[in-house]
């Protein structure tokens, strides 16, 4: 993650874009990329790097409380691109489903209070002991239906995040953009849309057509970028790489997202033990450099 | 992998089906499940367990030579359900492409000589340094087109194996049954079909409809079973589990394959370090038991 650590095909000498560089105008630091940073540190780090936006996670938010977080963020001038994350509503037990619904209502409230246009929904996996994937998918749709009017009333759009099938069993039963969009289109655009994440979707057959379809319907709520690296790290949850370190064609993917009309923030969201072990400011600098080289020119 | 090692929800006391048990009539041991066994050991192990068929891998076949293997297999009375595997033809360099083509011609000859109806094709991943997934997919189709008439002339059908997206970068760029079928349908049924593998496809949205479509077109060449387990083992290539150890609903999947009209052999193909470390005869017994409980009743 240092200047010297540059994969072949990338420019080693590209300078880190500095504060005020127009290429940073849409770059958002998803808090998960600098997981060791508190919300305060993430705000300060994003501002110091000249980033205009932050993808806020609920756990570091809870550490300081919503009122304080809202004040800090307002003072910082940062946009909150998304709140991560709601969802996890594939449970079967009625009491657990009510708990999940209530938790998502709190997440919607947080998004509304912080001015985040979107709450990212990670559907959840198969409940313990269940092998009924169709059932889990159906319950996810039901849970979204129950939340959609509440979200719309709060001015927050629910963003279904289709997840790489590697997570279908234990994290996200919605596996393709096509599938996520089929669900989203059952609702109004001000209620439900989709999250387009390169790590999750880069392999999807016909992905460009699905991105175009999502854009035409006004359903792309967030564009999130990170790379697919091999060999896959042992902990698959931490298997995401810095853009340029893996196999994804970011220019091609980004062109498709731009052609679909998406003009919002671009979040860099990297779950990776090595990235997390590096100093936050260094990670943000690397991420800004890679973004400026591999993503921004094609937006 | 012992009698005591039975996941919850399975019957601990079910006896291992013995030689002559009609439930074994379609069960094939894919050699990769007992990877430590030579071809001779696999033949003897399958016969001893009362299995009627073997999925033969090319590497152990090469160790003894085609003529000897053909003699052994004819003497054993076993069917060869598939030859694993051809493919790996996403390379770019023209010389490398010719080499891959020639290697696949040898695989076709082996399949024909051993009486295997199907050569399993693993397309291959992104060539070193390339991020052009569409290009790799196109080259796979071109390579299949070049092989199809040769295969048909030899009486061997090429089976495209769509692979879990976890392998899209490094092993198989065809990622869904829908995509594999779209390719297969560009050719005659006696030239190209598809391999339906639970590990690769269990998560695919609309998989039942795709299986029905493949069956209606007469394109299902092999049904392969193993489980998706979590946490995923560190070496993703060895991440397949024994049926019942993971998250796949085998009765539902098997019913779909049966309803699609598939009446061929069912291969158990498990890449797993723990399975490989266990004595082969024990693995075959466990596999026959799990198959009798989770798969065979729904065929």
pLDDT score for B7: 65
**pLDDT range class, residue A12, cuts 50, 70, 90:** low
Half-sphere exposure of B138 (CA within 13 A, CB side): 5
pLDDT(B21) > 70: yes
Q: Which two tokens stand for residue A104?
A: 């998502």
Rounded CA-CA distance A123/A104 in Å is 11
Assess contact for B140 and B182: CB atoms under 8 A: no
Which chain A residues are within 8 Å of B168, Cβ to Cβ? 202-203, 228
**pLDDT range class, residue A4, cuts 50, 70, 90:** very low
Q: Is B128 on the interface with A (CB under 8 A)?
A: no
| Closest CA in chain B for residue A7 | B129
Assess contact for A1 and A286: CB atoms under 8 A: yes
Rounded CA-CA distance B263/B206 in Å is 22
pLDDT score for B6: 58
Q: Is A140 on the interface with B (CB under 8 A)?
A: no
Rounded CA-CA distance B203/A109 in Å is 33
Q: What is the mean pLDDT of residues A131-155?
A: 98
Cβ contact (<8 Å) for B234 and A230? no
Which chain A residues are within 8 Å of B203, Cβ to Cβ? 133, 165, 168-169, 175
Rounded CA-CA distance B56/B68 in Å is 14
Q: What is the mean pLDDT of chain B?
A: 95
Q: Following CA atoms A196, A202, A205, A209 in sequence, which dihedral angle do they give, to the nearest 10 degrees?
A: 40
pLDDT score for B5: 53
Using alpha carbons, list the distances in angstroms from residue A17 to A14, A54, A78, A292: 9, 17, 18, 7
Largest Cα separation within chain B, whole Å, is: 56
Q: What is the mean pLDDT of residues B69-74?
A: 98
Q: Is A128 on the interface with B (CB under 8 A)?
A: no
3-state secondary structure of B175: coil
Nearest to B205 among A179, A231, A232 (CB): A179
CATH topology assigned to domain A42-298: TIM Barrel (3.20.20)
Q: What is the mean pLDDT of residues A96-118?
A: 98
Q: What is the mean pLDDT of chain A?
A: 95
pLDDT score for A13: 64
DSSP H or E segment with residue B120: strand B118-122
Rounded CA-CA distance B133/A246 in Å is 13
pLDDT score for A6: 58
Q: Which residue in this structure is represented by tokens 């991420």?
A: A287
Q: Where are the alpha helices (DSSP H) in B52-93?
A: 58-64, 66-76
Cβ contact (<8 Å) for A165 and B169? no
Assess contact for B32 and B54: CB atoms under 8 A: no
Cβ contact (<8 Å) for A249 and B132? yes
Q: What is the mean pLDDT of residues A107-134?
A: 97
Which chain A residues are within 8 Å of B236, Cβ to Cβ? 231-232, 236
CATH topology assigned to domain B29-298: TIM Barrel (3.20.20)
Half-sphere exposure of A171 (CA within 13 A, CB side): 15
Q: Which two tokens stand for residue B228?
A: 């998706």
pLDDT(A2) > 50: no
Q: Nearest-CA neighbor of B227 among B180, B168, B274, B171? A: B274
pLDDT(B215) > 70: yes
pLDDT score for B235: 84
Q: Nearest-CA neighbor of B69 among B27, B104, B113? A: B113
ipTM: 0.94
| Closest CA in chain A for residue B176 | A205
Q: Nearest-CA neighbor of A53 among A227, A266, A226, A262? A: A266
pLDDT(A160) > 70: yes
Q: Is A253 on the interface with B (CB under 8 A)?
A: no
In a mutational test of the A interface, the residue from B163, B203, B237, B240 whose CB has the highest number of chain A CBs within 10 Å is B203
Assess contact for A126 and B247: CB atoms under 8 A: yes
Rounded CA-CA distance A224/A198 in Å is 7
Rounded CA-CA distance B51/B29 in Å is 7
Q: Among A9-23, A40-54, A273-287, B210-224, whose mean pLDDT is lowest?
A: A9-23
pLDDT score for A103: 98
Tally of CB atoms within 10 A around A15: 11
Q: Is A14 on the interface with B (CB under 8 A)?
A: no
Say which DSSP state B172 is in.
B
pLDDT(A8) > 90: no
pLDDT score for B237: 81
Q: Residues 224 to 243 of A: which have CB under 8 A from any B CB? A: 228, 230-232, 234-236
A-B contacts at Cβ under 8 angstroms: 77
pLDDT score for B238: 86
Burial-class residue B216 by CB neighbours within 10 Å (0-12, 13-18, 19+). Answer: exposed
Q: What is the mean pLDDT of residues A39-63?
A: 98
Q: Residues 173 to 202 of B: which have CB under 8 A from any A CB? A: 175-176, 178-179, 202
Tally of CB atoms within 10 A around B8: 7
3-state secondary structure chain A: CCCCCCCCCCCCCCCCCCCCCHHHCCEEEEHHHHCCCCHHHHHHHHHHHCCCEEEEEHHHHHHHCHHHHHHHHHHHCCEEEEEEEEECCCCCCHHHHHHHHHHHHHHHHHHHHHCCCEEEEECECCCCCCCCHHHHHHHHHHHHHHHHHHHHHHCCEEEECCCCHHHCCCCECCCCHHHHHHHHCCCCCCCEEEEEEHHHHCCCCCHHHHHHHHHHCCCEEEEEECEECCCCCCCHHHCEECCCCCCCCHHHHHHHHHHCCCCCCEEECCCCHHHHHCCHHHHHHHHHHHHHHHCHHHC
Predicted TM-score (pTM) of the model is 0.95
Q: Is A12 on the interface with B (CB under 8 A)?
A: no
pLDDT score for A3: 43
Nearest to B126 among A179, A231, A247 (CB): A247
Q: Is the dihedral of CA A36, A42, A45, A51 positive or negative?
A: positive
Which chain B residues are within 8 Å of A124, Cβ to Cβ? none
Which chain A residues are within 8 Å of B232, Cβ to Cβ? 166, 236
Q: Which two tokens stand for residue B181?
A: 């079928």
pLDDT score for A5: 53
Q: Is A141 on the interface with B (CB under 8 A)?
A: no
Nearest to A203 among B9, B168, B248 (CB): B168
């Amino acid at each position: 993650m240092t200047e010297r650590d540059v994969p072949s095909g990338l420019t080693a000498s590209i300078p880190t874009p500095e504060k005020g560089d127009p290429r940073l105008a849409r770059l958002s630091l998803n808090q998960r990329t600098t997981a060791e940073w508190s919300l305060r540190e993430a705000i300060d780090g994003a501002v110091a790097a000249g980033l205009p936006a932050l993808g806020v996670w609920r756990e570091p938010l809870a550490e300081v409380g919503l009122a304080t977080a809202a004040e800090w963020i307002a003072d910082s001038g940062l946009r909150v691109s998304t709140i991560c994350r709601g969802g996890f509503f594939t449970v079967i037990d009625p009491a657990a489903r009510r708990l999940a619904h209530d938790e998502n209502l709190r997440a919607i409230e947080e998004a509304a209070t912080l001015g985040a246009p979107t709450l990212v929904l990670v559907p959840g996996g198969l409940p313990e002991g269940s092998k009924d994937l169709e059932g889990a998918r159906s319950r996810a749709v039901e849970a979204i239906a129950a939340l959609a009017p509440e979200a719309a009333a709060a001015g927050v759009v629910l963003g279904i995040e289709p997840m790489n099938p590697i997570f279908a069993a234990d994290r996200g039963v919605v596996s393709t953009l096509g599938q996520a969009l089929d669900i989203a289109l059952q609702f109004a655009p001000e209620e439900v849309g989709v999250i387009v994440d390169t790590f999750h979707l880069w392999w999807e057959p016909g992905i460009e057509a699905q991105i175009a379809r999502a854009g035409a319907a006004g359903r792309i709520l967030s564009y999130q970028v990170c790379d697919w690296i091999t060999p896959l790290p042992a902990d698959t949850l931490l298997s995401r790489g810095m853009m340029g370190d893996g196999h994804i064609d970011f220019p091609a993917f980004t062109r498709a997202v731009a052609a679909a009309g998406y003009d919002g923030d671009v979040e860099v969201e990297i779950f990776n033990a090595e990235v997390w072990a590096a100093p936050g400011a260094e990670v943000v600098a690397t991420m800004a450099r890679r973004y400026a080289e591999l993503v921004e020119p094609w937006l």
